[in-house]
Amino acid sequence: MTRVPVIELENVSRIYPGGVTALRSVSMRIEAGELLAVVGPSGSGKSTMLQMMGTLDRPSSGVVRLLGHDVAELDDRQLSAVRANWIGFVFQQFFLTAHHTAAENVATGLLYGGVSPAQRKERAVAALRRVGLGHRVDHRPAELSGGERQRVAIARALVGRPAIVLADEPTGALDSRSGSGVVELLRELNAEGTTIAVITHDTTLAASLPRQVAILDGAVQRDTAAEPGEVGP
């Protein structure tokens, strides 16, 4: 029986007003349980690919499927539900609310999931423990290191039990030690079954992950999953 990929892009292009082409006929599948990097320099199209995978934008042509569902057939309300329930986002700049505790910040990931306040708190604490911050649940962002703040952001992405976590430059705002810790955490979460795609310009980080999708000028230049000898998950 053929497995349905978590995310599938089929001949996806994105052309912005003025004729700027950000993506050119990109095709890619992400299977459940993968840990991969989408890597490319600034302006390569990787941020646009993130927007396509995260249903934050619609393609000019081609098809984007999430768990087999063509996102073009979903209205804005349905897309919001998809993002709330199926996709976890991690961004470079954390986006934590300063006056909220770590647990309260993580719990915001459940605001649109129909989860009761008591369950939100319980699941937020569990997610923080999962990322090694069980001792920091009542601390506010100013009381946390950069690496800890990124772990809170990762816990927030995980708390809704999404089908995939999309991490956009997750180590970009961190020193090398904290960045290494975040990468190791992503590896551990993947080993537990979380599907993770890291969008990055860091070729060293990308090379350390099991699969690399290199993008340049809006087109996929290399996908190690398609190379001889590569074994899928």
- DSSP string for 15-75: EETTTEEEEEEEEEEE-TT-EEEEE--TTSSHHHHHHHHTTSS--SEEEEEETTEEGGGS-
List, for residues 218-231, the tens digit of each pLDDT value: 999 999 998 765 44
Task: Please report the pLDDT score of residue 195 as a whole number.
Answer: 96
What's the confidence (pLDDT) of residue 228? Answer: 63
Lowest-pLDDT range of 19-28, 44-53, 82-91, 222-231: 222-231
Least confident interval from 140-144, 148-152, 171-175: 171-175
Whether residue 111 is contained in a domain is answered as yes
Residue 1 located in a structural domain: no
- Residue 32 included in any domain: yes
Q: Whole domain around residue 60: which residue ranges? A: 7-226
| Residue 231 covered by a domain | no
In this prediction the pTM is: 0.91
In a domain, 233, yes or no: no
Q: Is residue 232 part of a domain?
A: no
155: domain CATH number? 3.40.50.300
Q: How many domains does the chain divide into?
A: 1
